Amino acid sequence: MTRQFFLTHSPINATFTKNSSDFVVNEIPLYPFSGEGEHLVLHVRKKDMTTWDMLQYLSEVSGCKVRDFGYAGLKDKEGMTTQYISLHKSFEAKLANFSHEKIKILEKTYHNNKIRHRTLKRQPLFCTS
């Protein structure tokens, strides 16, 4: 069988790399957070860092144990990712002046439940530079 090409345009050359300029993952909640409750929900952006590394750093700053954070899943290390994490609201004051070169808290709210695995969805977006 002979291959037939129906498009006559020249080939499109593309290079895909896995880095924070080209690989972006955004978590999207399956439902809106209530805005009240005992859990502080942080929408965070991290760059070139694992979820575990981010949680470890936030644990050191806040005093909240890593096991007590809620998160929907582990995000890619190599890339720019946003995700939601939760912790008890009693740790909120310790995060008031939070600063890190690879982590930014985008917004915060509250919810009645801790974030659990798979309660949020992931939407990969590929960008070209």
Percent of the chain predicted with pLDDT > 90:
58
pLDDT at 121: 59
Q: Does any domain span residue 59?
A: yes
Number of domains making up the chain: 1
Q: Is 109 part of a structural domain of the chain? A: yes
User: Quick check: is 24 in a domain?
Assistant: no
Lowest mean pLDDT among 15-19, 20-24, 40-44, 109-113: 15-19
With respect to residue 64, please indicate whether it lies within any of the assigned structural domains.
Answer: yes
**76 is in which domain, residue-wise?**
35-126
Which CATH number do you get for residue 66? 3.30.2350.20
In the prediction, which pLDDT does 16 show?
67
Query: What confidence tier does 122 reach under pLDDT thresholds 50, 70, 90?
Result: low
Average per-residue pLDDT for the chain: 86
Q: Is 101 part of a structural domain of the chain? A: yes
13 vs 108 pLDDT, higher one: 108
Beta bridge partners of 28: 121
pLDDT, tens digit, 9 for 90 and up, residues 62-114:
999 999 999 988 877 888 999 999 999 999 999 999 999 999 999 999 999 99
| Catalytic (active-site) positions | 76
pLDDT at residue 46 is higher than 90? yes
Question: Does residue 55 sit within a domain?
Answer: yes
* pLDDT of 14 strictly over 90: no
